[in-house]
Amino acid sequence: MKQLAFFVDAAACSGCKTCQMACKDKHDLPVGQLWRRVYEVAGGGWEARGAAWMSSVIAYHLSVGCNHCERPICVEVCPSGATRKREDGIVLIDGDRCLGCGYCRWACPYGAPQYDERRGVMGKCHLCYDEIDAGRPPICVSACPMRALEVGELADLRSLHGAVADTYPLPEQGHTSPALVIKPHPGATMTDQAALSIINREEVGREGR
Amino acid sequence: MKRGCPIDPGDLPNAVSRRTFVKWGAALGGSAAFAATSLAELEALAALLAHEASAGHTLKIRVGCPAHNCGGRCLLIAHIKDGVLTRLETDDRQPDRVADPQLRACVRGRAYRHRQDHPDRLRYPMRRTGKRGEGRFERISWDQALDQLAAELERVKSTYGNSALYIPYGTGSYNQLNGRQTAARLLNLFGGCLGSYNSYSWACISRATPTVYGTSVTGNQRQDWLNSKYILMWSWNPAEMRDGTNSEFFIKKARERGARVVCIDPRMSLSAVSLADEWIPIRPGTDVAMMAAMAYVMITEKLIDREFIRRCCVGFDSTQMPVGAEGEESFEDYILGSRDGVAKTPRWAEAITSVPGETIARIAREYATIKPGVLYQGYGMQRRAYGEQAVRAGCVLAAITGNVGVSGGWASGLGLQADDGGPFWNVFPAGDNPVPARIPVFLWTEAVLHGKDMGPEHGVREVERLDNDIKLLWAVASNTLVNQHANINRTTKILQDESLVETIVVQDQFLTPSGRFADLLLPVCTQFEMWGLEDGWKYGDEVIVMPQLLPPAYESKSDYQICREVARRLGLEDAYSEGRDEKGWVAWALGRYRDTRFPELPSLEQMEDENRGVFSVPVTEARVAFADFRRDPQRQPLPTPSGKIEIFSKQLFDLGNDEVPPVPKYIQEWESPFGPEARKHPLQVIGHHYMGRVHSTHANVDWLREAFPQRVFINPIDAQARGLVDGDMVRVFNDRGTVMLPCRITPRIMPGVVDIPQGAWWQPDEAGIDRGGSVNTLTSERWTPYAFGNAQHTIMADVEKA
């Protein structure tokens, strides 16, 4: 079975949020809705040694949309059948059937589904299926000034980049099998993840975790 | 949020030119653009858009991303449907390769619809009704506005003379036909105005680089970074300020080829996180101390390139002092402390910089031995008290390690692109200014207060003394009247005094803090609403056309059109316009580029028909600055007095000014954590270039404020000492003013330093406290000693919970 997936080079991501903005522009999302969000993570600290400051600070950014999980819990909990998985693995919300009940938002460990107050339904990253169908990459991928985002077959991306999909602050990938491949920032692998925290909580919206 | 341009389908002309139809048809097919400037063409455009609306088509037009003063020049694909800008995509040219990469717009460009369609766009000409700065205005007609502007120009000219007119520095628009160059052309035809030089971006680096190299053209083409083994990004943050579109991408590529990258910055910038293998936090304003200690390690451990120094430099040691300075303190003397008794050791520098001595020594060894290497100087470190010294010291490190004139190396300094300095930025001809006097741009408030007292000691050029104080300010695409100039509380007092500046005219898209002080406030269209042209800014070999996408919103006009209509009232229209509208000037400008730089550049007609957007020249073999000089310094000398790299500058020696020493030295700043001022205000404040703004442009865009809210960034140690928790509203204050804004506690700023990203709009409350978060509420108007540049990052303050 096909499964389209995002690849995120978190080592190269500058946190510039061009992906987030291209998504907002294309989907005309008001302030408060972030189908793609960029987490700013930092850890480590500072210690004075005489006049010198010894720094063990690390930081990185992680751009997250919807991970179009292989076991999408949003589909499981949807009471109206509005949320479904396409043949290519893209998880879609059918706005005509969505009740706007928000179960998917509560269930999703990634904060992907978000309530669209204007339409009274849930919305989320749909991997720009319209672009995919037209043979083009999603808008976030073609936007990235660092060329740090890709889209492709999950199996292909894993063979190229490995199978990591749960760099902090993302949850353990066993829960929903996200179709996501992350090249972790060196800071994420060098550091005790318990020492990391999200620095820009206010910028990733109420779904931030 | 979407607001279309008002097009009434019931009021359409029947005539639509065949040519426009052809273009329109091709745009629907994805390969052509339409255009409109003249009234007839505008009418045709309206007809087309109405027709297209009924057909439900979307036009996709390649257009340069509106050119403000970031370092990027990017390509957008604008979607126009029903006369509304509905989406912005970016460059999709294939292949996307290092020699000719896609010019991908950043977050600011992608958010542009919410600037274009902003509900606060200025709609009509307005005249002040209240006191200056109160922000009370009344609507007037264009005729009233333009008559008043022309009359004021005439009045001030006849009362005081042309040198009382001044166009302040401002970088809000660089598309040729919007921006202050349009007003400069008019005033030059009108008999001139007080001139200026320098910039707020890089006064020190543009003045100090030539004291070493005789030129500021010290940069290899950027693709050459892929040949580097080691890259020191010193105070350089290309990911945020976009120092040339794709600079960050090239650094990424250099790393993929094995280059080690180290970032030195008080703040762990977006560049430090994504481009560097190591981040070295350094106390602001102490870069020269670290550089000196690096030189100490290189000299004492014999890591310098003696042969290159002997052949290509002067003043390194006592054996190569210039005539007339024999026996003076050489660079080596300074570093080893043989005159002042202070060896500039890593331990010495540690106490100043807060960088561990062993780290300084290691970076010195790495840069001196992992070759070829780049020491790229950003501009933040030179917008400081002695910014000239940091510039010269960086150049000297590049020279003594022999990294000058080689592929993969970098001479440091300003780094304009070899071998001709790179693109032009503006080719729109401002003409010659009949008034010879020029002031450094940062000293305009001095010229308001006491212009007639100003001479060379204030950096005045071409005349002994100014013959006027500034009496009329005409701010075009400039928020430097208030927001971007230092010490806002001082500046606004000066502007409020109507006996000083008698007339203030501001042209902009929004009521900026500067606009609040206007007597006459004129609405300017966006760059999407007119024809324009841009090139590759500091780097890059491309020309990008900017077709008009939409009619000007409301009653707005381009800066060019406003000036043209003023010119008409002054009897200068023919001389001013030469019969061209904006599009005519774009065609003319393309010709200029073709004649002087890009012989293969197509005509405007061809670029338009092909919906091409950009013309670029692939860089297959990157040019290297100073390669000829390095090969044969005798026959290919530098344009310095000695013909060589001036580690010791006899020119500077002759000034006899301790603040401008002939060899670069660490000098304690006038506001410093080491001075008595630190007892009262212990924190250093920097104001970095924020990802969500270009200076003060975009500051009012909701999408960007959501992505990058204005905060004061403070280290957990400093926050804890003040009882702060993340998000607390705080006061940041010194003797010049108080800013109130929420804090963001982050380990990414070093202890002892807080960061208020520059460019947020000043917004005083009744008590005069700035609720908008403009760092310039805190900054000082004191200028640097040699460049007469802005030292806006050299400030101390304190923070307390509000």
One-character DSSP codes across A146-191: T--EEEEEHHHHHHHH-S----TTSPPTTTT--SEEEE--HHHHHS
Mean pLDDT, residues A182-190: 91
The answer to whether residue A59 neighbours chain B at the CB level (below 8 Å) is yes
Q: Under DSSP, is residue B697 helix (H, G, I), strand (E, B) or coil? A: strand
CB-nearest to B715 from A32, A46, A202 is A46
- Say whether pLDDT at B372 is over 90: yes
* B252 at interface of A, judged by CB pairs closer than 8 A: yes
* Shortest CA gap B251–chain A (Å): 10
Question: Could you tell me if B232 and B290 are in contact, meaning their C-beta atoms sit under 8 angstroms apart?
Answer: no
Nearest chain A residue to B277 by CA distance is A186
Q: Is the pLDDT of residue B4 over 50?
A: no
In degrees and rounded to multiples of 5, residue A84 shows phi and psi of -145, 170
pLDDT cut 70: percent of chain A above it: 98
Rounded average pLDDT over B506-528: 98
Q: Nearest-CA distance from A142 to chain B in Å?
A: 8
The band of A193, judged by pLDDT with boundaries at 50, 70 and 90, is: confident
A138 touches chain B (CB under 8 A): no
Test mutation, B84, B86, B274, B712, chain A, max A CBs within 10 A = B274
Chain B segment 272-301 residues within 8 A of A by beta carbon are 273-275, 279, 281
Contact B158, B152 (CB under 8 A): no
Nearest-CA distance from B270 to chain A in Å?
5
Interface check B111 vs A, CB under 8 A? yes
Minimal Cβ distance to A59: which of B104, B273, B716: B273
Distance from CA of B688 to the nearest CA of A (A): 15
- Measured between CA atoms, how close is B539 to chain A, in angstroms? 16
Q: How much is the pLDDT for B56?
A: 76
Largest distance between two CA atoms of chain A: 65
Instruction: For residue B51, give every residue at least 6 positions away whose Cβ sits within 8 Å of its Cβ, in sequence order, or none.
Output: none
What torsion, rounded to 10 degrees, do the Cα atoms B623, B628, B630, B636 define? -150
Q: What is the pLDDT of residue B40?
A: 59
B4-13, B63-72, B265-274: which has the minimum mean pLDDT?
B4-13
Q: Within B112-202, where are the H helices? A: 113-116, 142-160, 180-189
Please check the confidence at residue A209 and state whether its pLDDT lies above 70.
no
* Per-residue tokens: B489: 């509380």
Answer yes or no: is pLDDT of B532 > 60: yes
* B736-781 tens-digit pLDDT: 999 999 999 999 999 999 999 999 999 999 999 999 999 999 999 9
* Res. B49: pLDDT tops 60: no
- Interface check for B243 against chain A (CB to CB < 8 A): the answer is no
User: What length does chain B have?
Assistant: 802
Tens digits of residue pLDDT in B660-680: 999 999 999 999 999 999 999
Q: How far is B472 from chain A (nearest CA, A)?
A: 40
Give the model's confidence band at B536: pLDDT under 50 very low, under 70 low, under 90 confident, else very high.
confident
Distance from CA of B14 to the nearest CA of A (A): 34
pLDDT of amino acid A189: 83
Mean pLDDT of chain B: 93
B452: phi then psi, degrees, rounded to nearest 5: -70, -15
Percent of chain B scored above 70 by pLDDT? 93
Q: Residue A191: is its pLDDT beyond 80?
A: no
B237 to chain A, any CB pair closer than 8 A? The answer is: no
Tell whether B239 lies on the interface with A, counting CB pairs under 8 A. yes
Q: Give the per-residue pLDDT at B50.
A: 55
Tallying the residues shown for chain A, one arrives at 209
The confidence band for B23, taking pLDDT boundaries of 50, 70 and 90, is: very low
Threshold 0.90, pTM exceeds = yes
Residues 6+ apart with CB under 8 A from B635: none
Judge whether residue B43 has pLDDT over 70.
Answer: no
- Show residues of chain A in contact with B674, CB under 8 Å: none
B89 at A interface, C-beta within 8 A: yes
Of A180-189, B266-275, B296-305, B510-519, least confident by mean pLDDT is A180-189
- Indicate yes or no: CB of A142 within 8 angstroms of CB of B716: no
CB–CB of A59 and B96 under 8 A? Answer: no
Confidence of residue B38 (pLDDT cuts 50, 70, 90): low
Q: How far does the CA of residue A190 sit from the closest CA of chain B (Å)? A: 13
pLDDT at B441: 98
The string of pLDDT tens digits covering residues B213-248 is: 999 999 999 999 999 999 999 999 999 999 999 999
- Flag if B275 and A14 touch (Cβ within 8 Å): yes
pLDDT digits (tens, 9 = 90+) for B441-499: 999 999 999 999 999 999 999 999 999 999 999 999 999 999 999 999 999 999 999 99
> Strands A149-153, A4-9: parallel, antiparallel or unpaired by DSSP?
antiparallel
Cβ within 8 Å, pair A46-B750:
yes
Q: Is A53 on the interface with B (CB under 8 A)?
A: yes
B249 to A147: CB separation less than 8 angstroms, yes or no: yes
Q: Which of residues 141-160 of A touch B (CB under 8 A)?
A: 142-147
Percent of chain A with pLDDT over 90: 93
Q: For chain B, what percent of residues have pLDDT higher than 90? A: 91
Helix (H) / strand (E) element for B293: namely: helix B287-300
Q: For B509, phi and psi rounded to 5 degrees?
A: -90, -20
Collapsing DSSP states into helix, strand and coil, what is residue B5?
Answer: coil
Rounded to an integer, the average pLDDT of B548-577 is 98
Q: A30 vs B252: CB contact, 8 Å cut-off?
A: no
Verify whether the Cβ–Cβ distance A142 to B1 is below 8 Å: no
Mean pLDDT on B152-158? 98
pLDDT higher than threshold 90 for residue B35? no
Q: Are A43 and B747 within 8 A, CB to CB?
A: yes
Size of the A and B interface in Cβ pairs below 8 Å: 144
How does pLDDT run across B67-87, given as a tens digit for each residue? 999 999 999 999 999 999 999
